[in-house]
A = this chain, B = another copy of it.
């Protein structure tokens, strides 16, 4: 095995040398509007890149709902998986002395929302100063570029990992996580997993669970002329939102796991969408609210669903109409448990050393208040997994951006982590 420090100097130099290419790659993948159901063109682009530029063995496959449905981490999807592939790749010429490693990034992004909140086209990344703006630039295409270019730099510097090294781009991280689950179920696992979620250059320890709800509030539609006799579903839906806000207050005030003891507001109930009515002069007879509820590690999503439902129904009961026309509460998308990963595991120590090569200070840890795909590895496959990624802003909002300097630093940390965890061997036989 080559001396790590010596190798890293060359590897980090390679990252600097290819920085413009990495930037072009990031902009290019940012131009794919890879929202729910529209992931495939980007997946094909990345699969080709991994195969042709990084000489990896690539596996493309779609999640098998029938097979996954009995898995405790499975969320019932709302969209079929035909033609929506997961991309998994492994280094071909790796050695076998070190420990295997998986870098996994989701390539699905949330919709851009109203264009009024964007200064430029969300699907055409634009650099201003050290920031790159575009949907997915923070969450998490910059992370995808970092993991891919970390491995590329190792090869450019004349090395291969001394253990199987895997890259994966998955779908549906933003709604079910079934992409990551399908890859695990297919056997794609390793001794440690790193996901480049852009929560800043800290390692995530705990994460919350998430369930999604869809609540249909009924009114009694009518012509405006009789508006005072009719029941307006929009007005009634506010009672439901109030109940959800009081539920949020309750769950944040009850006993918490250690990791969230001092967090100001770990569990968010987000009212994400509302749709109601189709004519200004008609009283709307139906309003549909969609949202997301957080839960603590250790809590069962099924129980939280029951609790939320019972709470809302109980807390709208003082409204006569809602008491006799209870809102329909349906759960879809995320059925995600919270998860915890140990701070003092070998993976974290190795990541810590890699972090120090760039930052000259100890790696810090953070519990997060969102869910990520790491839960599948830690909860169901006994595999340590953490998130560590670049710095950015406006994730899921308008003018999402990523800090480019942090992307470069993260790429270097990934390379150092890879080299340390897997070990390195000299590349052979391909003319270098």
Contacts and interface: CB of A to CB of B under 8 A. Distances in A.
Contact of A279 (B222, B272, B279, B394): B272
A395 interface: yes
A275 B275 contact: yes
Given A223-B396, A281-B210, A271 B241 contact: no
Contact of A281 (B221, B228, B396, B398): B396
A77 interface: no
Given A116-B286, A241-B235, A292-B280, A268 B397 contact: no
A264 to B, nearest CB: 7
Given A270-B281, A280-B273, A396 B224 contact: yes
B286 A117 contact: yes
A273 B276 contact: yes
A230 B117 CA distance: 14
A370 interface: yes
Contacts of A245: 235
B272 A274 contact: no
Interface in A269-319: 270-287, 289-292, 294
A277 B271 CA distance: 9
- Max count, chain B CB within 10 A of own CB: residue among A117, A223, A280: A280
A243 interface: no
Nearest to A291: B280
Number of copies: 2
Given A225-B368, A395-B223, A396-B282, A235 B276 contact: no
Given A221-B397, A223-B397, A396-B224, A234 B283 contact: no
Contact of A283 (B210, B272, B277): B272
A369 interface: yes
A282 B272 contact: yes
- Max count, chain B CB within 10 A of own CB: residue among A273, A289, A370, A396: A396
A227 interface: yes
Contact of A280 (B223, B226, B241, B290): B290
Contacts of A283: 270, 272, 396-397
Interface string A247-262: 0000000000000000
A111 interface: yes
Contact of A285 (B212, B268, B286, B397): B397
Nearest to A214: B280
A420 interface: no
Nearest to A278: B111
A228 B369 CA distance: 11
B220 A397 contact: yes
A52 interface: no
B271 A274 contact: no
A113 B370 contact: no
A276 B291 CA distance: 12
- Top 9 nearest A-B pairs by Cβ distance? A273-B277, A221-B397, A223-B396, A272-B280, A227-B268, A225-B370, A282-B396, A223-B395, A228-B265
